[in-house]
Homo-oligomer: A and B are copies of this chain.
Amino acid sequence: MDFKDKLVQHYGFTERDWYETVSRYRPETQPARTLFLEKGKVATRLAYLRSGMMRSFFYDDKANEITTHFFKKGSVVISMKSFNDQVPSRENIIAIEDCEMDVITYDRMQELIREVPAWRQIGKDVDEAMYNSLMNRSIQLQTLTASERYELFIKKHPDILQRVALKHIASYLGIDIATLSRIRKSI
């Protein structure tokens, strides 16, 4: 099911709703290793990722990159707090691969919500999905050992494993890179 069908089915979109929507999104590309969002700046854009992959991260006190999320095809790329409240972002979002996306700005999104009220609900649903996935992640960090976290990760995200540097997966899972290397050998 493509995106339009989903909107029609789930949110009762009319042709006009769809038109108002697509006219406010525009296709953009994000080359690999370039920042989609930079720490300290206000997130003005939200993207629907059509292809490629991104990750969000921040720097800890020893200047290590701590990865907090991977965005893959079909997901919404957003720094929730920064975009929703229009405050400076605490995290960076960077393209891991060349990305194709459909982008909407904050201002256009506000317009769109006025024109097509269902978008308020969609925004809420996206936020909620992110909350739920963060909750799952948090519980995993709280209850699983390093190797359990890794095994669950490769089971749920075999595609990410192929395409992302192990050190980013290690930091995402809260495991030292050398330890992760040994866990991988032992499986």
Chain A residues near B (Cβ < 8 Å) = 60, 66, 68, 80-81, 84-85, 124, 127-128, 130-132, 134-135, 137-139, 141-143, 171-174
Partner of A131, one of B68, B127, B171, B172: B127
Partner of A142, one of B66, B85, B128, B143: B66
Quick check: A60 and B143 within 8 Å, CB to CB?
yes
Q: A128–B84 Cα gap in the complex (Å)?
A: 9
Quick check: A66 and B128 within 8 Å, CB to CB?
no
Residues of B within 8 A of A124 (CB): 124
A113 to chain B, nearest CB (A): 12
Given contacts A141-B141, A141-B142, A143-B66, contact A131 B80 (CB under 8 A): yes
Partner of A137, one of B68, B138, B173, B174: B138
Q: A173–B141 Cα gap in the complex (Å)?
A: 10
Closest B residue to A123 by CB, please name it.
B124
Quick check: A174 and B143 within 8 Å, CB to CB?
yes
Given contacts A134-B135, A135-B134, A138-B138, contact A85 B128 (CB under 8 A): yes
A144 to chain B, nearest CB (A): 9
